Structure 1
Amino acid sequence: MMAINRIAFYHLETLLWIARLGTFAAAAERLNTSQPAISARVRELENHLGAALFRREGRAMALTPAGRELVRESEPLWARFQGVLMACGDIAGASGVIRIGAGEIAAASCLPGFVAELGRDLPHVSLEIDIALTADLIQQLASGHSDIAFAAGRIAHPMLRTAPIGSVDLLWLASPATVAEMDADRPPIWSLSNLSPLYRLMKDAIAASHLADCPLNLCNNVRAMMDFVVEGGGIGIFPRPMARQEMADRRLIPVPGAPTMPAIDFHAAIRAAESDPLVLAIFDRASRLELGGDKGA
């Protein structure tokens, strides 16, 4: 006879995170415990049920048919239980670790105010922020290694749900010394590399400008490009929020005659199958962000 009365909620939580992340080690990190503790919970659950829930496939743990059935039936129950707890209390009392992924531009444009607001309203929730390329953000989110992502450009993935949160201006900028010498010199133009979803946008804009014959330098770090340009290393195309201070100090100024760049659209994303009430509540907040209100320098 199954010892159902000995199954605790942490057993189901452990099972669901292993199923989502694929390894005991990843589940241990997510649940802030040790891998031996995770293994012990799985053994306890299997002993109580009298059935094996996982089988090892290389370094990953694959669910057995019994394990898949338990996960399928437990996920909605766990989500409802979490929702009941939050409804009975106050979301301000929610706790846990939320992992947020963001691209470099998104981190500068979206996150500062958003993270500060979360800190005020959800004081017991810990945040882990990972700055990465868009392709990596999508992979981390789809695999369950992050909970929510902010990225520039369109996020197209069948496992993800997205919400548009506005746009940010792109500006052609250079140092005053570089602008003064442009008639006599053809300075290099700095663009994000082809690893960025903005690469084609930037390359097309450069090709259509009067600066098309300038050398093109590529870099995958906006802040590094900005440092190069501030020091007189060429011309750059930068998001307004990241260049605001340099423009205020006149270390960077607009490039005369440069064509207008289309604004960057930003999206927030979570897994389409996400059921955790806290993640859903934070995504709801994210979906109400409205970027693009600062048109001035």
Structure 2
Amino acid sequence: MINRIALYHIETLLWIARLGTFNAAAERLNTTQPSISARVRELENHLGFSLFRREGRRMLLTVKGREFAAQCEALWAQLETVLLATEAFSTATGIVKIGCGEIVAVESLPAFLSEIKRLMPNVTLEVEIDLTIHLRHKLEAGAIDFAFLVGPIDSPALEAAPIGTVEMKWLMGRELASRLSRSVDGGEVPDLPVWCLSRPSHLYQVMAESLRQSNLKRPVINTCNHVRTLIDVVASSGGMAILPELLVRDRIARGEFVPVPEMVADPIAFFAVVRKGENEPIVLEMLKRARDLRLG
């Protein structure tokens, strides 16, 4: 029986167990859903028992399947560790899916990816830029392997390493600030258009809390899902917004942005995150390298 079970059978089993569907496992392993189904049938025929049961769209492990998968998970991790110890990361192969928010993507991601490619030139990196809330769900579900996320990270399913905080500032464009200085007496901030990242973002929550503590009366809140565009809108005097200081530091120095009087915002903490109990040596090495990052 042993010599009729190939490594790809075990790898297929583990990815279905992690991702929950044959289609997701097929995408992850760069094959087709019929191929995944065939591998499962072959493995079940060799073992003599069913590994999965269907519940809606998801495939759940049976009682025996759960026990077998747990044993295989430990053996698979040991095998990968042994192979990497023999070959080193320079010859490692595979596909690693990385999620990242736009702030870290602009500030630190290029250098991080360059370092990873230098260390693991044969590993394929697939990078997805998205909001933390979406990336977090994908990481928990196993659809991505590693992510840079806004904290706090309070999920028992995730392990996080802090990489620094980003100061946030309420800013408006120079031209808008000049107009206000000529028309407003005493420094009171009138009802200006407010811009922010889209509602599911952590930055939207920071903005809402800051507005709650201010004396502004129900301002019109406009949203944009792209930080760079948001910065350009504010620079063109489209209103005011909470912006990451490290992304606009040079433009503040040039006078393109002016602080909004009496408006403050809390800094945002960022973390490198993997799933709790992650045992892929390549992913763990990425987490180790990410611990050395310092935003700003």
TM-score (norm. length: structure 1): 0.88
Q: Calculate the aligned-residue CA RMSD, in Å.
A: 2.2
**Equivalent residue, structure 2, for 1:295:** none
TM-score (norm. length: structure 2): 0.89
Letter of the 1:17 counterpart: W
Give secondary structure in 1 for the equivalent of 2:160: strand
Change (3 A) 1:29 1:245: farther
Q: 1:179 aligns with which of 177, 180, 183?
A: 177
Q: 2:295 aligns with which of 284, 291, 295?
A: 291
Letter of the 2:241 counterpart: G
Q: In structure 2, how many angstroms separate the alpha carbons of the residues matched to 1:247 and 1:291?
A: 18
Q: In structure 2, how many angstroms separate the alpha carbons of the residues matched to 1:175 and 1:262?
A: 21
Maintained 8 Å contact 1:189/1:214: no
Change (3 A) 1:216 1:110: farther
Q: In structure 1, how many angstroms separate the alpha carbons of the residues matched to 2:260 and 2:149?
A: 30
Q: Superposed, which structure 2 residues align to 1:29-44 within 5 Å?
A: 29-44=27-42
Deviations 1:214-254 (A, max 9, x none): 8342415233322321221111211123324644665x323
Maintained 8 Å contact 1:171/1:254: no
Q: 1:243 aligns with which of 224, 248, 259?
A: 248
How far did 1:145 drift? 0.7
Q: 1:131 aligns with which of 116, 129, 144?
A: 129
Change (3 A) 1:216 1:98: same
Change (3 A) 1:44 1:188: same
Maintained 8 Å contact 2:172/2:260: no
How far did 1:36 drift? 1.6
**Equivalent residue, structure 2, for 1:78:** 76
How far did 1:112 drift? 2.2
Maintained 8 Å contact 2:90/2:121: yes
Q: In structure 1, how many angstroms separate the alpha carbons of the residues matched to 2:200 and 2:166?
A: 20
**Equivalent residue, structure 1, for 2:219:** 215
Deviations 1:137-195 (A, max 9, x none): 22111111111111123111111111111111212322211110123263323234542
Structure 2: runs of 5 or more not aligned: 185-189
Q: Percent identity?
A: 46
How far did 1:22 drift? 0.8
Q: List structure 1 segments (4+ residues) > 4 angstroms apart after TM superposition.
A: 207-210, 244-250
| Pairs aligned (count) | 288
Q: In structure 1, how many angstroms separate the alpha carbons of the residues matched to 2:32 and 2:198?
A: 39
Q: In structure 1, how many angstroms separate the alpha carbons of the residues matched to 2:133 and 2:144?
A: 13
Q: In structure 2, how many angstroms separate the alpha carbons of the residues matched to 1:153 and 1:275?
A: 23
Q: In structure 2, how many angstroms separate the alpha carbons of the residues matched to 1:90 and 1:203?
A: 48
